[in-house]
Amino acid sequence: MGQKGEETRGRLLDATRDLIETGGYFGTGLNQVIAASGTPRGSLYFHFPGGKDQLVGESVRRAGDEIGRSLRALAESSSGTRGMVAGMLAFLGDRLERSGWRRGCPVATVALETAATSDPLQRICAEVYGSWEAELRRRLAAEGHPEPADTAATVLALIEGALLLARAHRSREPLERVARRVEALL
């Protein structure tokens, strides 16, 4: 695929991510994606012959990779897992607040809406969450934490819950509370 094709594909994925993150899977139609991306209808079906589920799945995977890169960058620049998690909570809180409380976790909405009805999307959401959890687990194990797997799952669940509550309350307070508890936990 040429550069123009890659750019078109990227615009479709970015538009999908923004729309599903703010409006949900069921609240996002392909016509909205086409309009938001500024691409012709034929491009959508050329790049995503599997339709909406393929488009959403690849968008979720791409968003998950971006968050994963941010997590790894924070891991490299932080003195420990506490600092990494505090940095991630601040990053996600900034992102959420800048969006007017519309953009929390780029995976959560799709997972909540489709995990019981779409095996391919459920697998992609699980893979993304699994990759984030693995990064936390690796970091905890490297620090000699006695239960890295359980603690990584707990921390990820706390972050996800805090994002949901922060979005619902339109407040950073849940993120700040979780940051304090994570510091005590770790």
pLDDT, residue 107, reads 94
pLDDT, residue 5, reads 77
> Alpha-carbon distance 167 to 125, whole Å?
20
> Alpha-carbon distance 83 to 144, whole Å?
16
Instruction: Say what the pTM is.
Output: 0.91
pLDDT, residue 3, reads 81
Look up residue 69 and give its two tokens. Answer: 């890169």
pLDDT, residue 1, reads 65
> Alpha-carbon distance 134 to 177, whole Å?
24
pLDDT, residue 104, reads 87
Please identify every stretch of the chain with a pLDDT value under 70, giving residue numbers as ranges.
Answer: 1
CB 107 within 8 A of CB 163: no
